[in-house]
């Protein structure tokens, strides 16, 4: 007996899924912005010649890179409140976890990008009297970021997929909404097919935009590095 596909009960719950998608984008967006900013800070600390700065940064990065994201999420949601006595909403726990978790990966992307810039660029910047931070901001990072875009995009996609874990602490993200719709409609096959498709479309579109940006930068004539 062939399976009788019927998407209509799932589509009837589109508003629920839409709300889930909106929440997923909210978590992803928050973690992306905070993760990139924190990642840059961690990378700069880690590259510092001062060990009391580089060592703690390296520690944070390694801890978050080598522990499962789900454990991190449970730790922030269930364990941390016991320590500090502050309850976190699922959204805040997720945003904090995924921000630091992605920051530890973004930090490595930043570090690799910064280190890929030839020493001569630092020389050129310092020779006209730039301070370290000026050289970084004006000369090194603009070039590094351009080289980082593909790795950066990969990490951002990874982040969006990781945020599905937040459903386990009852935050109404897209996956959580899917569970609900699936139980309501008794149509898990259709529901999860639709949800997979939504993730695919969103991530695919985002990566196309990234590719366009990359091409645009390459075509502006400045990208050929000598």
Partner 1 sequence: MTILRVSGLTKRFGATEVLRGIDLEVARGERIAILGASGSGKSTLLRCLNFMERPGGGTIALDGQMLGREGRAGERIYRENELIQVRQRVGMVFQQFNLFPHMTAIGNVMEGLRTVRGMPKPEAEARARKELARVGLAEKADTYPAHLSGGQKQRVAIARALAMDPEMLLFDEPTSALDPELVGEVLAVILALAEEGRTMLLVTHELGFAYHVATRIIFLADGAIHEQGTPDEVLKNPKKERTRAFLASHRQFSF
Instruction: Select from 87, 60, 67, 62 the least CA-distant residue to 76.
Output: 87
CB of 110 to partner 1, least distance (A): 17
What minimum distance in Å lies between the beta carbon of 130 and partner 1? 6
Query: DSSP class of residue 76?
Result: I
Point out which span in 38-46, 90-98, 132-140, 177-185 binds partner 1 (CB under 8 A): 132-140
* Residue selected from 146, 149, 151, 180 as contacting partner 1 according to rule CB under 8 A: 146
Q: Considering the complex, what minimum distance in angstroms separates the CB of residue 131 from partner 1?
A: 6
Q: Are 10 and 191 in contact (CB under 8 A)?
A: yes
Q: Which is nearer to partner 1, 16 or 117 (CB)?
A: 117
Q: Which of 130, 198, 203, 210 binds partner 1 (CB under 8 A)?
A: 130
Using only the alpha carbons of the chain, give its radius of gyration: 21
Identify whether the C-beta of residue 146 lies closer than 8 Å to the C-beta of residue 223.
yes
Task: Choose which of 125, 159, 165, 194 interacts with partner 1 (CB under 8 A).
Answer: 125
Residue 48 touching partner 1 (CB under 8 A): no
Rounded to whole angstroms, how far apart are CA atoms 140 and 17? 43
Shortest Å distance, C-beta 125 to partner 1: 8
Long-range contacts of 62-69 (CB under 8 A, 24+ apart): 62/104, 63/104, 64/100, 64/101, 64/103, 64/104, 65/104, 65/105, 65/108, 69/97, 69/98, 69/101, 69/162, 69/165
142 binds partner 1 (CB under 8 A): yes
Judged by CB under 8 A, the number of residues near partner 1 is 24
Token readout for 160 is 């969006």
What are the two backbone dihedrals, phi and then psi, of residue 223, each rounded to the nearest 5 degrees?
-75, -25
Contact status: 129 vs partner 1 (CB under 8 A)? yes
How many CA atoms, within 13 angstroms, populate the side-chain half-sphere of residue 203? 18
- Alpha-carbon distance of 114 to 162, in angstroms, equals 26
CA pair distance 146, 138, nearest whole angstrom: 13
Q: Which of 12, 89, 138, 197 binds partner 1 (CB under 8 A)?
A: 138
Q: Which of 89, 116, 208, 223 binds partner 1 (CB under 8 A)?
A: 223
**Residue 149 Cβ, how far from partner 1 at the closest point, in Å?**
14
- The reply to whether 124 sits near partner 1 by the rule CB under 8 A is yes
Options 16-24, 142-150, 165-173, 179-187: segment touching partner 1 (CB under 8 A): 142-150
Is residue 131 part of the contact set for partner 1 (CB under 8 A)? yes
The residues binding partner 1 (CB under 8 A) are: 120-121, 123-132, 134, 138-139, 142-143, 146, 221-226
């Amino acid at each position: 007996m062939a399976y009788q596909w019927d998407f209509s009960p799932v589509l009837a719950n589109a508003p629920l899924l839409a709300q889930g998608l909106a929440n997923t984008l909210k978590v992803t967006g928050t973690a992306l912005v905070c993760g990139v900013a924190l990642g840059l800070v961690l990378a700069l600390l880690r590259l510092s010649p001062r060990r009391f700065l580089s060592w703690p940064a390296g520690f944070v990065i390694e801890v978050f890179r080598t522990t499962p994201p789900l454990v991190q999420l449970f730790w922030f949601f269930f364990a941390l409140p016991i320590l500090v006595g502050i309850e976190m909403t699922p959204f805040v726990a997720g945003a904090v976890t995924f921000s630091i978790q992605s920051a530890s990966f973004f930090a490595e992307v930043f570090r690799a990008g910064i280190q890929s810039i030839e020493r001569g660029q630092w020389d050129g910047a310092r020779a006209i009297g730039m301070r370290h931070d000026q050289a970084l901001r004006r000369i090194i990072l603009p070039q590094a970021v351009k080289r980082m875009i593909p790795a950066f995009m990969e990490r951002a996609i990874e982040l969006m997929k990781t945020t599905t874990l937040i459903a386990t602490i009852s935050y109404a993200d897209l996956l959580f909404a899917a569970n609900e719709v699936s139980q309501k409609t008794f149509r898990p096959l259709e529901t999860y097919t639709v949800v997979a498709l939504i993730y695919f479309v969103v991530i695919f579109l985002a990566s196309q935009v990234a590719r366009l940006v990359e091409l645009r930068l390459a075509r502006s004539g400045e990208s050929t590095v000598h």
